[in-house]
Amino acid sequence: MTSSASVAAAPAHHSGEPRRYQMYIDGDWVDAQSAETFETVDPYTGETWAVVPRAGAADVDRAVTAARRAFDDGPWGRMTAVQRARLMRRLAEVIADRATEVGVVESLDNGKLLREMEGQLKGLPAYYEYFAGAADKLHGDTIPSDRSNFFIYTVREPVGVVAAITPWNSPILLMSWKLAPALAAGCTFVVKPAEQAPASTLEFARLVEEAGFPPGVFNVITGFGPDCGAPLAGHPGVDKVAFTGSTAVGSAVMTGAASHLAHVSLELGGKSPNIVFEDADLEAAANGAVAGIYAATGQTCMAGSRLLVQESVYDELVGRVAARAASVRLGDPLLAETEMGPVAFAEHRETVESYISVGREDGATLLAGGGRPSQPELASGFFVEPTLFGDVRNDMRLAREEVFGPVAAAIRFSSEEEALRLANDTAFGLAAGIWTRDLQRAHRMARGIRAGTVWVNSYRAVGPMAPFGGFKASGLGRENGLEALQQYTELKTVWIELDGATRDPFNLA
């Protein structure tokens, strides 16, 4: 068995020959059967830093077959929930030990701040510990029968082989939102990370290996959507497909899964309203607006990209956000003082810039940013300035379509009723923020908003115990919380006949 390349020991950008990775299938490190590879680029330097295998349908089949064998015939399928939980807790320990190392790889791959990537990795053990604690509490019910000669009960069993297709913005965190409940339920797992940022998931496979999971329980294949993602979603050996990404791709994934009637969970896009009322703490609200759209360079499905502000405080609040946007420190994502790094890849920068042009053309007022930074040391990276548009109408494209970048659209409203109407006037329904000191208003708005998560006087908080997912075009199903655990199981009903009496075979019992 060969070993995957080791991670960088200190926060520094890679130099010299690109690091070479292999895939992890059935407990072995392997190349693609075609021997093809592709490059991954550091968004800060614009240079290739790693080379990974380019998997095809044959590699997908190999990984799914390994996962199926581990589920049906391997030691994993014979383990008790307590034994699975013990392995998950060991994995949590390994993750905690390697959080900085793997965080560096994630930052090199997608350009997000090391302090965020490292923070995510340091918080990740809590997810595996939470679901490890739930693994042996996954049970069914006894059901009172309407007939005295039957005893009825239910049991929950693992759904089987899970295929996960994950995004480039937070690869390991969003994979773990799927993997942790899947392992707790007793499933096996094949993950295809986004081709723009695959390396950290391969590094994570080293942690799974070190934790001692049996071969085939966790498998990583790397490649592109048509060659790798589509065959994975459509593979008849897959029992559930779990996807995080854009709504358009999610629809295609769902179509592939439907070809063999696999279970599906989809965590998709958003155009979330961050709503500021006139009685809010404006300093806190402005800080929350910055967190909602400029954190993670705006590359997050839950971004508060529509900033809805009551007209009486609109100028003050938007002015505060514009000033803060202008002062955000752009720079090397590996440095602690950097507040915003580049977007993840060159094509995505072009997409973000096209929406900035659309905002200008549609008549919105540019209040901050709108271009590329002028500092020479940032010229090689895929940077976009933190951008804020004012005087946006909710029918503009800037308010309707997901930009997935550091671009906020400020919209005025006059009343609570108008705020609620604007908040819900979207194809999406992933998240929302409400800023107010009025507790009754907060509850009214939280009840009325059609979104999967609502934050009050906060934004962008998540945890393993709290279900996360969307309404409408933002997806299907929930991740995190006990609700997620249910979605990696099948419910079986058992009828036990008690008296042995012969019944009429032509009459429904």
Which are the catalytic amino acids?
A: 267, 301
The owner of tokens 């998931």 is: 201
- Spatial distance between the Cα atoms of 182 and 373, rounded to a whole number of angstroms: 43
Q: Which run of H or of E encompasses 455?
A: strand 453-456
Under 8 Å between Cβ of 205 and 106: no
For 244-308, give the secondary structure using H, E and C: ECCHHHHHHHHHHHHCCCCEEEEECCCCCEEEECCCCCHHHHHHHHHHHHCHHHHCCCCCCCEEE
Sheet harboring 142-143: ordered strands across?
142-143, 150-158, 489-497
Write down how long the chain is. Answer: 509
Burial 431-463 (b: 16+ CB within 10 A, else e): bbbbbbeeeebbeebeebbebbbbbbeebbebe
Residue 239 — φ and ψ, nearest 5°? -95, -25
Burial 236-275 (b: 16+ CB within 10 A, else e): ebbbbbbbbbebebbebbbebbeeeebbbbbbbbbbbbbb
Pick from 245, 244, 235: nearest CA to 58: 235
Q: Which two tokens stand for residue 78?
A: 């014979």
Burial 289-301 (b: 16+ CB within 10 A, else e): bbbbbbbbbbbbb
Q: Hey, what amino acid is at 179?
A: L
Find the distance separating the first CA and the last CA of the chain, reported in whole Å: 57
